[in-house]
Structure 1
Amino acid sequence: MEASGIATVRTAVQDFLVAVPKDVKVGVVSFASTSGVDVPPTVDRVVVQRAVDGLRSRGETALYKGVQDAVKALGTVGERSIVLLSDGGDTVEALKGGSAGEAAQLKAAITALTRGKVRVEVVAFKSPEANGGVLQRFATAGGGSVATAENRAAVTAAFDAAARTLESQVAITARRPPGLTGMQTMVVNGVASGAPFTATATLDLGAEAPIVETTEETTAAPVPTLAGSAGTPKATSPSRIFLPLAILLLFLGVFVLVVVAFAPVFRSKRKARVSTIEAYGYGRVRPNGKNAKAAPSAISQSLVDMGEQIMSGRESTSRTMALLDRADLPWRAGEWFVLRVLAVLVGGLVGYVLLIPRTPWVGLFMGVVAGFLLPALILRFLARRRARKFEFVLPDVLMLTATSLASGFSLLQALDAVARDAPEPCAKEFSRALAETRIGADVSDALEHTADRMDSDNMRWATMAIRIQREVGGNLADTLRTTAATLREREGLRRHVRALSAEGRLSAYILIALPIGVLLFSMWSNYEYVSLLWTTLYGLLMSVMGVLAMIAGIFWMRNVVKIEV
């Protein structure tokens, strides 16, 4: 169908929606390279008109699958009709299965119309692939007629005829006599508009109109050539929107309850030991029996002990504990393991439930992957953010230490002043270093432990300067001032470079997020179309290649925009 034909259809559909009775549900099914439901049967005429206005004429024509989709979407209840706008050609099935496959799909479409007892009104367009015979067979199978759309007036007349047919329909309810089954002829006599009429129909009193299921998968067209009828469960109704949100909130609530139940565990032995050491710093409150947390339950403690056993033999445990320490999270390795297991379980359940109407196993896989990766990513983010705060405040801390030394304080007294007056996280880290010195550690070693704990090269340089000064002598205050000035210049240069590379980083973020966002939006708006990526062999190959290319692109862009200072 050409662009002018689409414009004609939009105008004719607008008049058709006005003429159709208000209680008649109208939907839109489009077909191009694939077929799918754009709007399910609804009385909202604005939604239908908006969908028709968005149709574009390009691509192939999956006519036979489109007809089958329309029949399945109409269901089995009430009087059902299809207004089919097509040239009769199906270029998709001929390419996929040859003449034999095309004939099989045509037969399946006609069988669906016949068994579903769906009326078909056909508006035939002319094109190089036109096949009037197919359209006539559709009309015959559906008990309708074929109108040739040679111009705008013909299209309008065809839609008017379809509207009059719908408006003139009358629902008649009859009680089936006892014992009467099978195919029966029903005759209705009456008077309409002052004129008598007689209507005859053959009814199957032993069955209802079935939904004809096809053996092949059906996908939704991204930009179709036309639609004639109804919809699938792809509706964007409020219930479809709020149900996943309600389920998500339910699982979030369960997750919060689990976290609350394990809260005593997360503030257990290690936190008590750290708090005891920190109590030796100034301004710290020592724990007592009144402020102590409740003891963890036996079940939670057993789970944590099991996690400790699993984590004890892993090489990554030391790195995980370093990140927990850097992020200032009071968790042991076993507690972190339990938290990650809970995240995997909750993520898998949420993904499974959200995609139950589609492919729940894909949702389960995506939820498990998200639950496995997100805790580690969040932990790295928290650790990196706290380390950056430490690096940002460190020059001011060194200047405060130098000022205290110049005022006559000793090094330990200067560290006391830092622990009291410096902003977080430096106050807590230097307080821990001071606590180590009070239980016998050398001050240089305690500061070195702080540098390792925060993974701070600047702190290592400052500690090295302090160690050298203590060994060879000199003015430590001047040394710390010089070190602080160097760190400030280095920080200024780093920020300058970061500002210059901001555009590249933003471009990288957009390029990384764009494919993911398009995938999520396509899954929400046109799931049948995008599901080909994991339901067909070619789609799986494309998905694997796309993921590999995405990973390579992420590493490449990361190295481009990452500049070490």
Structure 2
Amino acid sequence: MTSMIQLLILATGLMLAMVLGYAALSGPSASKEGGRRLQSVRFRHSDSATDKVEAQYRKTLAARKPRVMQIAGSNSRIEALELRLRRTGKKWTLAQYLYVSGGMALTIMVLVYIKTGAALLGLGAGILIGGGVPHFLVNRAIKKRIAAFVTRLPDALDLLVRGLRSGLPVTETLGVVASELPGPIGEEFKMVTDRIKVGRTMDEALQDTADRLNLPEFNFFCITLAIQRETGGNLSETLSNLSDVLRKRAQMKLKIGAMSSESKASAYIVGALPFIVFVLIYMINPAYLGKFFIDERLIVTGLGGLIWLGLGAFIMSKMISFEI
């Protein structure tokens, strides 16, 4: 019992040391902060037209921060979860999500306890699977819908450009996009036009969609419209340039995905191999691993291994993820 407590204290100390080290090394850079301050001073006192336009862009971007971050960072986890369910584009409700999560957790907990007789293991497996599988499915639905939206957004911008060049107002071209393009892009623009029809301004209607989607590409579109109304200029030409930028951005993402695919496959194999070997050995010789669910020392060792494996997976995911 004393050795088990010592192992727990040692593992906890190592975890705290790594967390504190990460927090100390991941803070804001002093040089970058100084550069941002010098840049703000330059924008404030410069007479250049380019600097004034960029300053207006940054001011508009800061004023149009999505409410998604406020919801996700607030004390209300329920609102954040409801927002995630709405982003899937499916008719999933919060009650259905909670019922499915609770039912899966209870089922797995009972099955593991009947099979192994370890109550703590059953509780941990139930919480892990009951909370992880629905979360994974919601994430997958969100990513699939967002990918479809981002893929068709340049086509929507091209359609907007053709409508503006033919003499249609912006609100009419938004309706054309909603009716002509299928999938998530048409559904989102249909919601924008419906809000405008019931009396909302175009800024408010677009901002509601930007808050729900939380996509840089759609935020670029909203900021472009806001800056064009404040500074003037050729909106069709601006949207055409934005469409070209979004297509190049998508091509860069595909190139990065192709270059990092080998590293991702290696990370998946290395991360899944311990679990696969454990299951295979347990299926072949259950008595060999039978004490693993009963002996407290083996349980602590297994939990420590899972913690280190999780840290390794987190580090590998950070190494192969790139922001564009």
**From 267, 281, 284, the counterpart of 1:508:** 267
What per-residue deviation string (whole Å, max 9, x for no partner) do you get for residues 364-398 of structure 1? Answer: 65244312321122112211221122112111111
Q: Does 1:412 align with 2:166?
A: no
Q: Is the 8 A contact 1:444 1:467 kept in 2?
A: yes
Identity %: 26
CA-based RMSD: 2.0
Once residues 349 and 532 of structure 1 are traced to their aligned partners in structure 2, the CA distance between those partners, rounded to angstroms, is 19
Residue 401 of structure 1 corresponds to which residue in structure 2? Answer: 160
- Give the letter aligned to residue 551 of structure 1: G
- Give the letter aligned to residue 469 of structure 1: Q
Which sections of structure 1, spanning at least 5 residues, go unmatched? 1-312
Instruction: Report how far residue 423 of structure 1 moved.
Output: 2.6
Once residues 302 and 168 of structure 2 are traced to their aligned partners in structure 1, the CA distance between those partners, rounded to angstroms, is 65
Give the structure with the higher percent strand: 1
Q: How does 1:39-438 map to 2 (within 5 A)?
A: 315-352=76-113, 355=115, 358-359=116-117, 361=119, 362-363=121-122, 365-438=124-197
Residue 294 of structure 2 corresponds to which residue in structure 1? Answer: 535
Q: Does 1:457 align with 2:199?
A: no
Q: Is the 8 A contact 1:348 1:364 kept in 2?
A: yes
What per-residue deviation string (whole Å, max 9, x for no partner) do you get for residues 95-146 of structure 1? Answer: xxxxxxxxxxxxxxxxxxxxxxxxxxxxxxxxxxxxxxxxxxxxxxxxxxxx
Greater mean deviation of Cα atoms: 344-353 or 318-327: 344-353
Decide whether aligned partners of structure 1 residues 364 and 316 sit closer, same or farther in structure 2, where only a CA change above 3 A counts.
closer
Once residues 144 and 274 of structure 2 are traced to their aligned partners in structure 1, the CA distance between those partners, rounded to angstroms, is 27
Instruction: Report how far residue 338 of structure 1 moved.
Output: 2.6
- Give the letter aligned to residue 99 of structure 2: V
Instruction: Report how far residue 315 of structure 1 moved.
Output: 2.1
**From 489, 496, 503, the counterpart of 2:255:** 496
Once residues 290 and 202 of structure 2 are traced to their aligned partners in structure 1, the CA distance between those partners, rounded to angstroms, is 62
- Give the letter aligned to residue 210 of structure 2: A
Once residues 110 and 298 of structure 2 are traced to their aligned partners in structure 1, the CA distance between those partners, rounded to angstroms, is 25
Q: Is the 8 A contact 2:104 2:126 kept in 1?
A: no
Decide whether aligned partners of structure 1 residues 347 and 314 sit closer, same or farther in structure 2, where only a CA change above 3 A counts.
farther
What per-residue deviation string (whole Å, max 9, x for no partner) do you get for residues 326-383 of structure 1? Answer: 1013234334323322222233344445x2xx43644565244312321122112211
Greater mean deviation of Cα atoms: 340-349 or 496-505: 340-349
Return the TM-score normalized by structure 2: 0.72
SS of the residue corresponding to residue 527 of structure 1 reads coil
Return the TM-score normalized by structure 1: 0.42
What per-residue deviation string (whole Å, max 9, x for no partner) do you get for residues 138-169 of structure 1? Answer: xxxxxxxxxxxxxxxxxxxxxxxxxxxxxxxx
What per-residue deviation string (whole Å, max 9, x for no partner) do you get for residues 494-515 of structure 1? Answer: 1111111111111111111111
Once residues 524 and 538 of structure 1 are traced to their aligned partners in structure 2, the CA distance between those partners, rounded to angstroms, is 22
Q: Is the 8 A contact 1:340 1:375 kept in 2?
A: yes
Q: Which has the higher contact order (CA 8 A, sep 6+)?
A: 2
SS of the residue corresponding to residue 428 of structure 1 reads helix
**From 460, 470, 474, the counterpart of 2:229:** 470
Structure (1 or 2) with the larger CA radius of gyration: 1
Q: Does 1:446 align with 2:201?
A: no
Residue 319 of structure 2 corresponds to which residue in structure 1? Answer: 560
Residue 524 of structure 1 corresponds to which residue in structure 2? Answer: 283
Instruction: Report how far residue 399 of structure 1 moved.
Output: 1.0
Instruction: Report how far residue 314 of structure 1 moved.
Output: 6.0
What per-residue deviation string (whole Å, max 9, x for no partner) do you get for residues 78-99 of structure 1? Answer: xxxxxxxxxxxxxxxxxxxxxx
What per-residue deviation string (whole Å, max 9, x for no partner) do you get for residues 248-298 of structure 1? Answer: xxxxxxxxxxxxxxxxxxxxxxxxxxxxxxxxxxxxxxxxxxxxxxxxxxx
SS of the residue corresponding to residue 330 of structure 1 reads coil
Aligned residues: 250
Give the structure with the higher percent helix: 2
Instruction: Report how far residue 563 of structure 1 moved.
Output: 0.9
- Give the letter aligned to residue 299 of structure 2: L
Instruction: Report how far residue 418 of structure 1 moved.
Output: 0.8
What per-residue deviation string (whole Å, max 9, x for no partner) do you get for residues 487-546 of structure 1? Answer: 111111111111111111111111111111112222211222123333223312320220
